[in-house]
Structure 1
Amino acid sequence: MPSGFFALLDDISALVKASAASLDDVPTQVAKTTGKVSGIVIDDTAVTPKYVVGLDPSRELSIIYRIAQKSLINKLLILSPAALLLGYFAPWAITPILMLGGAYLCFEGYEKVHSLFSPHHHENPESEPLTPITPEQLEQQRVTSAVRTDIILSAEIMAIAYSQVTGQPLVNQIMVMLAVAVFITVAVYGFVGLIVKADDIGLHLAGGNYPPATQKVGRGIVKFMPHFLSWLGYVGTAAMLWVGAEIIAHGIPFTAHLLHDLEQGLSSMPVVAWFAKALACGVAGLFLGFLIEKLVMFVKRIFFTPGVRH
């Protein structure tokens, strides 16, 4: 009996050591996953600041916090469990879902590029009645819209996170998914909060009782932020196209091999290889977005235009 008891203790000890060794790999997996979703993170960071434009500056951080809170809840309680369940019961569905999300990113990216270069038609302001709206209602609309966009990007992030830990022990999968959800949410919305308050920080430094050099820095921040926000918007659009196309490409063996061959051919110049892949994916994403937009318009014209027979 004693020998059996000690054998059981040895087995438990071995299991604990194996689990600890497995958990030691979690930070590495989190870092690897974060690198894989960097394009989507850039896009999420670039898109969010627009939702607080025109609102009461004193409410900006509160709005960002509300969006971040809902984003984290969605990642932890809806998207992560959904990814784990799909991975267990229907692992074949992960890649198609990723590709659908990639198609959406290409579509959104194309729409943004198209709006930059297409002429804007000014509508007659009297053609539609204006509906009064309170600041509270406007704020709620902005938060709802931001959360709707975020949940699509977050779904892509968590699906990619799961794709990086398939085959790992369940505990590792859960730990990595939770760590990625928390880390990316805090990083994205912390940086967004810093962006939206940067002009206030600049004004404070420029107008306070500070040395001339500090005041100059404050004025520089105030002048720089509008240009930075514009640049960030362009980067976010480029990231949408690049990431969307790359996700789709990795779901198709032929295009996945093409990307791999491109990287291998330029492996001696890593920066050039990364830029070439990003450029190729960006151009492909723009073309895919164009095709998807035409398909969406066709479906709308057939099924949603009054007077058209179905």
Structure 2
Amino acid sequence: MSGLLALLDDVAGIAKVAAASVDDIAGQAAKAGAKAAGAVIDDAAVTPKYVQGFAPARELPIVGKIALGSVRNKLLILLPAALVLSGFAPWLIVPLLMLGGSYLCFEGAEKVYHVFRPHAPYADGRPVENADPAHLEREKVAGAIKTDFILSAEIMTIALAALPGDQPVWMQAMVLALVGVVITIAVYGSVALIVKADDLGLLMASEGRLGLTRRLGRGIVRVMPGFLKLLTIVGTAAMIWVGGSIVVHGLHELGWHAPYEWIHHQAEAVAHAVAMAEGFVGWAVTAVFDGVIGLAWGVLLIPVATLIIDPAIRAMTGGRAAGR
């Protein structure tokens, strides 16, 4: 009997440790996922363009295919790569983070640039209306999954950098897997709602039994174009801000402290001067300066990407440029 009680006591102890581990994993996943906000918002802002021009019945299947490809990217390729990186080359995490942050800065700056200098609607000068729909869908999905791979790599690297370095490998794997799955569900669930919102609005406006329902449907239809533009603006601002923050923090960790310390001092000075909601004011000032640095760095990277990286990719891929 005493042996059974001892066994039950051991089982209860193991259960408590497991429960604590689950809570720890969930908490760390939430913190790590929050650090990846810029790439997440950008992912949600970019993805709806991949279903434009398709029949409404194909929109959700396309989003589903991209989401499945995103899960494969994160769990089958990037998660094992992140664990290998953490175990054998942790010194590479900061440089890779800065590379991802630079990519965010470049993407954001390029979008700002194209507001003032719009590019041609077709990369090769030819419209695609007469293309085979099934072939076009496969191309769009493949392109979206490639784009997702870059954004997912940023998300997983940011999440890995947010984890304590002394964690066992299995816990790192659980946290990264949870971050990957939850972010994928959040992003592509949001995308599915966004791309079907106008259809829902039209249905409510035309078939709603109540006047309030019909008015709400018409309101959704009117609001969605402006909402998509706002989402693009927020996504661009988030990319520039987060990218700049990653670059500044990376320089700080690599030994160049001047930009980080200057921003920190400016944020403290403004927060103390305002003497009201100091925490928020300090964060806002820091975000603004990170964004300014991110935009400036992104602008400097545009000619590098346009004149060096893009032609190199075209040469290696037989004339197809990487792009979004």
TM-score normalised by the chain length of structure 1: 0.86
- Cα displacement (A) at 1:91: 0.2
| 3-state SS of paired residue (2:33) | helix
Cα gap change, 1:122 to 1:74, in 2 (>3 Å): closer
- Cα displacement (A) at 1:45: 0.6
2:296 maps to a residue whose letter is F
- Cα displacement (A) at 1:76: 0.9
Cα gap change, 1:303 to 1:56, in 2 (>3 Å): closer
Q: Deviations over 1:183-209 (max 9, x none)?
A: 110011001000000000101110114
Aligned partners of 2:15 and 2:167: how far apart in 1? 16
Q: Deviations over 1:57-101 (max 9, x none)?
A: 110000000000100111111111111110000000111111111
Alignment correspondent of 1:34:
33
2:291 corresponds, among 268, 277, 282, to 282
Give the alignment of 1:177-216 within 5 angstroms. Answer: 177-216=176-215
RMSD of aligned residue pairs (Cα, Å)? 3.2
Is the counterpart of residue 227 in structure 1 residue 231 in structure 2? no
Aligned partners of 2:267 and 2:281 also within 8 Å: no
- Cα displacement (A) at 1:264: 4.4
Give the alignment of 1:133-212 within 5 angstroms. Answer: 133-166=131-164, 167-212=166-211
Q: Deviations over 1:226-282 (max 9, x none)?
A: 111111111111111111111111111113334444554438423322322222122
Alignment correspondent of 1:250:
249
Give the alignment of 1:1-310 within 5 angstroms. Answer: 17-18=16-17, 20-118=19-117, 133-166=131-164, 167-253=166-252, 254=257, 255-265=259-269, 266=271, 268-299=277-308
Cα gap change, 1:240 to 1:130, in 2 (>3 Å): closer
1:134 maps to a residue whose letter is D
Cα gap change, 1:106 to 1:221, in 2 (>3 Å): same
| 3-state SS of paired residue (2:53) | coil
Aligned partners of 2:131 and 2:55: how far apart in 1? 14
> Where does the alignment leave 5 or more consecutive residues of structure 2 unmatched?
316-324
Aligned partners of 2:264 and 2:286 also within 8 Å: no
- Cα displacement (A) at 1:119: 5.4
| 3-state SS of paired residue (1:210) | coil
Cα gap change, 1:95 to 1:213, in 2 (>3 Å): same
Greater CA drift, 267-276 or 62-71: 267-276
2:261 maps to a residue whose letter is H
Cα gap change, 1:119 to 1:236, in 2 (>3 Å): closer
Aligned partners of 1:150 and 1:244: how far apart in 2? 17
Cα gap change, 1:175 to 1:134, in 2 (>3 Å): same
Identity %: 48
1:257 maps to a residue whose letter is E
Aligned partners of 2:121 and 2:167: how far apart in 1? 55
- Cα displacement (A) at 1:129: 9.8
- Cα displacement (A) at 1:104: 1.1
Alignment correspondent of 2:322:
none
Aligned partners of 1:23 and 1:172 also within 8 Å: no
